[in-house]
Amino acid sequence: MTQSGSGVLAEKYSAASNLRREKMRIISGITALNLIREKRFEEADGYAKPFVEIKDSPIEEVAQCLGSGFVPSNNETKRVATEMVSLAKLLSGDPNTLQTDDIEKSTKKLVELLNVLSNISRV
Amino acid sequence: MSSATSQEYKEITDEINANFSVVDSTICALKSELSKGEFNTSYVFISQNVKHVVSYIQRALENILSKAKNFGNIWVSSPLQMFAYRGNPIVIYEYRDTIREFSESVRAIVSNLYTNVGKTLAAYILVYETLEKFGFKPPFVLVESSEFSSQNLIDFVFDEFETIGPRVEYEPSKSQVITYSGIDVSETLSLLIVGHESFHIIDRLGGVFDGFCRATGFNGGKRCREALVDVMSTLYFGPVYAYAMQRHFEKRYPLSGESHMEMNIRLLALDYLISVLGIGKGNEAQAQRLTSFIKLLEKRMDKDALENARNDRKQLDMMLDKGIIGYVKNYFKGNGISTYEEFVKVVEKREFDSDHEKIDRERIRFMLRKEIPAAVRPTTLLNALYGSGDIDMIDSRLITASFKKWYVKRYYEKSLEKK
């Protein structure tokens, strides 16, 4: 974000905002998994929904939100998008049937993806 | 639970609380910093739009604040949550930093709404005039960004919060945000690129593309919606719109992104429209230039882009077969709007003949060459300059001055009509 003088702007707002939105989505997914682990299914549902809603999205579309809009997505963003969609599919099932091991692994994976997103350049 | 563990939990709880209090104070500070005191421009609709949008953002921040509070409560409420936090503190830090980044962005955007008015004045007038013609008067603002877009305000500012936890209910709003990128918004041809975005608002509020799909059984995605907006823009702005798009594409790599048809297909569609509507007559040199540029684009495209272009062409042909041009013409007619060809034959002729100060396209060109602003409709002004080949030469400040003069004249006439 840059601002110089009068007239120049909030550079890169949209791409940065898309990236923030996807980070929030992952944080929501992690929160849902933690609540599921505690068997707080009702609360978990509200947090799982925003993450699960990408389960049927085309990978390209999710990857586009992680990239910089106009420029086609690179392999790293496509990998993150693929992992996100696959975890969304897993989380879309009945939370009662999720094994503790799956919850642990999925949480770790989401934290790793969050780390990757934090390192994506915004330029 | 041992006392050592209790102590550890207490430390973690304190840390979580500290991070959420940063979140709270960031949002509260943002809310108060957005107030700029009295804001007036000579153009009431611009001042009102900006004030309306900013006060809406301030009110909606309350929702974000309460959402953050709920989220904070979930994180500190149980030992297991704290355990999770201890293992993955990045989650809370990321949330806190995301709120900080969001606040900085919103602060910069709002600040620029005020400071950019001089630069964006002509674009504001053009968008306002276009929307009003179609019977829409939503508050709207123009924002420089990383892409061209037209969105509902609430989606533009707050949609990132829709992806954390339960949905927030916002107060309904019709406010719109147009974003532009990589152009000098005050340049003459850039105005038409922004004008394209105003047709996205018309499409969204008027349900044009969805109506077309329902009426004809056509099933197309974002790229087809963009094609519809190009058709609407050409039918409204005339051949100068195709020229503006061509000049815009000449400055970029031949990449169209994922939501637009490939550049060569977009220009081909505009070329086709101009020839079908018969609105490009007398400018054969430009027609030649457009055809050569389309060929050049094709040469530069890689295998994937060419494949996309083939698919786009199929979709476009299907839209034309389903009668997209007729559908848009009918939509215009239903709203009492003349398409460009009718506009030239009827509206422009009537205005030229009846005006107290006799004027025609030749006189408009003469005035601008003499650096005298002309108080005529933007479509007339821009096409007159395009037709004579002057559009790239005339100082854009003169175009802005002409828009201002026309805007004042128009509202003076309107006020007389009301009396």
pLDDT in tens, A80-108: 999 999 999 999 999 988 898 999 999 99
Give me Rg for the CA atoms of chain A.
16
Residue B342 lies in a domain: no
Q: Residue A71: its pLDDT value, please?
A: 53
* One domain, residues B156 and B246: no
Checking if the pLDDT of B154 tops 50, the result is yes
Checking if the pLDDT of A6 tops 90, the result is no
Checking if the pLDDT of A1 tops 50, the result is no
Task: Phi first, then psi: give them for residue B43, nearest 5 degrees.
Answer: -110, 100
Distance CA B157, CA B173 (A): 12
Checking if the pLDDT of A70 tops 60, the result is no
Residue B346 lies in a domain: no
Distance CA B350, CA B331 (A): 23
pLDDT digits (tens, 9 = 90+) for A42-53: 999 999 999 999
- How many domains in chain B? 3
Q: Do A69 and B111 touch (CB under 8 A)?
A: no
Q: Residue B355: its pLDDT value, please?
A: 57
Rounded to an integer, the average pLDDT of B26-31 is: 95
Q: Residue B44: its pLDDT value, please?
A: 86
Rounded to an integer, the average pLDDT of B77-89 is: 84
Rounded to an integer, the average pLDDT of B263-282 is: 87
Give B149's contacts (C-beta < 8 A, 6+ positions apart): A14, B156, B177, B178, B179, B197, B200
Bridge partners (DSSP) listed for residue B152? B176
Q: Are B161 and B136 a contacting pair, CB within 8 Å?
A: no
Q: Give the mean pLDDT of chain A.
A: 82
Distance CA B392, CA B248 (A): 12
* One domain, residues B221 and B325: yes
Residue B339 lies in a domain: no
Rounded to an integer, the average pLDDT of B214-226 is: 93
Residue B350 lies in a domain: no
Q: Do B147 and A69 touch (CB under 8 A)?
A: yes
* One domain, residues B361 and B409: yes
Checking if the pLDDT of A33 tops 90, the result is yes
* One domain, residues B128 and B272: no
* Confidence band, pLDDT 50/70/90 cuts, at residue B1: very low
* One domain, residues B65 and B168: yes
Between B137 and B413, residue with greater pLDDT? B137
Burial class (CB in 10 A: 0-12, 13-18, 19+), B385: buried
* Confidence band, pLDDT 50/70/90 cuts, at residue A72: low
Residues 37-56 of A with CB under 8 A from B: 37-38, 43, 46-47, 49-51
Least confident stretch, B125-139, B263-277, B299-313, B345-359: B345-359
- Among A34, A37, A66, most B C-beta atoms within 10 A, so best to mutate, is A34
* One domain, residues B69 and B198: no
Domain boundary among B157, B186, B215: B186
Residue B347 lies in a domain: no
- Residue B145 has its nearest CB partner, among A10, A21, A43, at A10
Q: Is B180 strand, coil or helix?
A: strand
Q: Which residue has the tokens 């990589």?
A: B182
Q: Which residue has the tokens 């297909």?
A: B265
The beta strand positions in B181-304, using DSSP E, are none
Q: Do A11 and B144 touch (CB under 8 A)?
A: yes
* One domain, residues B156 and B237: no
Q: Give the mean pLDDT of chain B.
A: 90
Checking if the pLDDT of A8 tops 60, the result is no
Rounded to an integer, the average pLDDT of A52-77 is: 78
Q: Is A112 on the interface with B (CB under 8 A)?
A: no
Between B353 and B328, residue with greater pLDDT? B328
β-bridge pairing B140-144 and B149-152: unpaired
pLDDT digits (tens, 9 = 90+) for B394-404: 999 999 999 99
Checking if the pLDDT of B68 tops 80, the result is yes
Between B206 and A71, residue with greater pLDDT? B206
Bridge partners (DSSP) listed for residue B142? B178
Between B334 and A119, residue with greater pLDDT? B334
* Confidence band, pLDDT 50/70/90 cuts, at residue A60: confident
* One domain, residues B157 and B43: yes
Q: Residue A73: its pLDDT value, please?
A: 59
Q: Residue B149: its pLDDT value, please?
A: 87
Distance CA B330, CA B216 (A): 14
Domain span at B162: 3-186
* One domain, residues B34 and B158: yes
Checking if the pLDDT of B245 tops 60, the result is yes
Question: Does the pTM of the predicted model rise above 0.80?
Answer: yes
Between A121 and B157, residue with greater pLDDT? B157
DSSP secondary structure, B119-145, as one string: HHHHHHHHHHHHHHHTT----EEEEE-
Residue B343 lies in a domain: no
Distance CA B4, CA B10 (A): 10
- Among A11, A14, A55, A110, most B C-beta atoms within 10 A, so best to mutate, is A14
Between A13 and B82, residue with greater pLDDT? B82
Distance CA A74, CA B154 (A): 29
Q: Residue A123: its pLDDT value, please?
A: 40
Domain boundary among B125, B159, B186: B186
* One domain, residues B67 and B169: yes
- Residue A21 has its nearest CB partner, among B143, B160, B166, at B160
List the single residue in A with minimal CA-CA distance to B96.
Answer: A24
pLDDT digits (tens, 9 = 90+) for B104-131: 999 999 998 998 888 999 999 999 999 9
Q: Do B105 and A10 touch (CB under 8 A)?
A: yes
pLDDT digits (tens, 9 = 90+) for B375-419: 999 999 999 999 888 999 999 999 999 999 999 888 888 777 776
Q: Which of B335, B257, B91, B301 lies closest to A33 in space, CA to CA?
A: B91
Q: Residue B254: its pLDDT value, please?
A: 66
Q: Residue B258: its pLDDT value, please?
A: 74
Chain B: nearest CA to A93, how far in angstroms? 18
* One domain, residues B287 and B155: no
- ipTM for this model: 0.87
Q: Do B160 and A24 touch (CB under 8 A)?
A: yes
Least confident stretch, B138-142, B220-224, B258-262: B258-262
Q: Do B84 and A72 touch (CB under 8 A)?
A: no
Residue B153 lies in a domain: yes
Q: Residue A118: its pLDDT value, please?
A: 84
Q: Which of B255, B60, B265 lies closest to B156 in space, CA to CA?
A: B60
* One domain, residues B214 and B96: no
Residue B231 lies in a domain: yes
Q: Is A31 on the interface with B (CB under 8 A)?
A: yes
Q: Are B298 and B264 a contacting pair, CB within 8 Å?
A: yes
Q: Do A9 and B81 touch (CB under 8 A)?
A: no
Domain boundary among B186, B221, B241: B186
